């Protein structure tokens, strides 16, 4: 699979649209002039003049029209002092790994590892991939739906029923996350083999020695070229892409939970979720809580007080 980006004039884009007239699709991504889908490639031309070629024959199809843009990115956030990250890490082919949902009372923990090659970087920039904290969920979903079509990735979901069982047996949330990250990265390495990433970057939630202590006894522990850094979403688009895909999955799980609950469940861990959990208790009984929430959060007792149970 190859992905390329070309910079074209309005006249050239008009010629391309005519050339792909038999393959044009009606649903256009925001900011695009036209979109087409051949049996082996998706082509999207934007008002900015950039034209994206994605899919099995993306690079070959792009070559019909000229030379692809160089895979460069603007400087991201500076690595944490002492992290020893390569200076050019933002331009490397890496597996990025990130998670969402750890601080939410409702909803599962979702972990994603995603492989972004050097040549994918201009594509991700054009799609708008960035630190997901800067974007609203609807925009994240729009971008993530495109990312999952061409980025090798692994998505793992730890639903609250299983989470609560593990937590009650004494497993910390940090250990759960380490297990999920290690497994997701392993899955991506298997998908892209024999190709290897230049590095693996994990959005740091625990210092390296603690992370590997959590993995002690696991059959397969990924150590080669693994790097850790806080705010890694701003350092490499691979981590930002992983975070977006994880958030996309997380939001979809929330939609499912809301349908099961019969009302819209709020995100986070504030007063609104206390009231929502109390309503859930009153509507369906407290025995359903393990399926919906992380029981060890203080919100559980607050919800019970509100529901007077």
pTM: 0.82
Report yes or no: 145 and 248 within 8 Å, Cβ to Cβ. Answer: yes
pLDDT score at 79: 56
Q: What end-to-end distance do the CA atoms of the chain give, in Å?
A: 56
pLDDT score at 68: 73
Q: What is the full per-residue pLDDT of the chain (309 aa) written as tens digits?
A: 567 888 899 999 999 999 999 999 998 876 789 999 999 999 999 888 888 888 888 888 999 898 776 554 444 455 555 557 998 999 999 999 999 999 999 999 999 999 999 888 888 988 889 887 888 999 999 899 889 988 999 999 999 999 999 999 999 999 999 999 999 999 999 999 999 999 999 999 999 999 999 999 999 999 999 999 999 999 999 999 999 999 999 999 999 999 999 999 999 999 999 999 999 999 999 999 999 999 999 999 999 999 997
Token output for 206: 């625990």
Helix (H, G, I), strand (E, B) or coil at 77: coil
Report yes or no: 129 and 143 within 8 Å, Cβ to Cβ. Answer: yes
Residue in 115, 103, 109, 101 with CA at minimum distance from that of residue 201: 115
230 by Cβ neighbours in 10 Å (0-12 / 13-18 / 19+) ranks as: middle
Binding residues: 98-99, 203
Report yes or no: 111 and 214 within 8 Å, Cβ to Cβ. Answer: no
Residue in 258, 291, 286 with CA at minimum distance from that of residue 161: 291
Binding residues for a divalent metal cation: 98-99, 203
Token output for 32: 């695009």
């Amino acid at each position: 699979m190859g992905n390329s980006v070309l910079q074209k004039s309005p006249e050239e884009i008009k010629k391309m649209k005519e050339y792909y007239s038999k393959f044009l699709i009606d649903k256009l991504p925001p900011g695009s002039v036209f979109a087409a889908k051949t049996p082996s490639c998706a082509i999207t031309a934007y008002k900015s003049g950039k034209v994206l070629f994605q899919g099995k024959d993306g690079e070959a199809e792009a070559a019909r029209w000229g030379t692809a843009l160089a895979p460069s990115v603007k400087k991201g956030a500076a690595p944490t002092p002492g992290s020893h990250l390569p200076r050019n890490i933002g331009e490397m082919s890496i597996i990025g790994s990130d998670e969402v949902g750890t601080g939410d009372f409702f909803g599962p923990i979702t972990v994603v590892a995603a492989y972004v090659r050097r040549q994918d970087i201009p594509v991700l920039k054009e799609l708008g991939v960035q630190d997901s904290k800067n974007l609203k969920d609807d925009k994240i979903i729009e971008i993530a739906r495109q990312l999952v079509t061409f980025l090798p990735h692994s998505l793992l979901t730890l639903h609250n029923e299983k989470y609560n069982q593990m937590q009650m047996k004494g497993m910390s949330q940090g250990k759960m996350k380490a297990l999920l990250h290690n497994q997701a990265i392993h899955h991506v390495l298997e998908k892209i083999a024999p190709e290897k990433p230049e590095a693996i970057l994990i959005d740091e939630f625990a210092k390296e020695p603690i992370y590997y202590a959590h993995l002690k006894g696991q059959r397969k522990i990924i150590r080669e070229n693994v790097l850790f850094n806080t705010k890694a979403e701003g350092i490499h688009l691979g981590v930002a892409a992983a975070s977006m895909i994880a958030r996309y999955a997380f939001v979809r799980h929330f939609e499912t939970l809301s349908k099961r609950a019969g009302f819209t469940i709020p995100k986070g861990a504030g007063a609104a979720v206390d009231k929502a959990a109390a309503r859930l208790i009153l509507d369906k009984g407290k025995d359903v809580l393990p399926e919906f929430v992380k029981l060890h959060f203080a919100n559980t007792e607050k919800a019970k007080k509100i529901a007077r149970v």
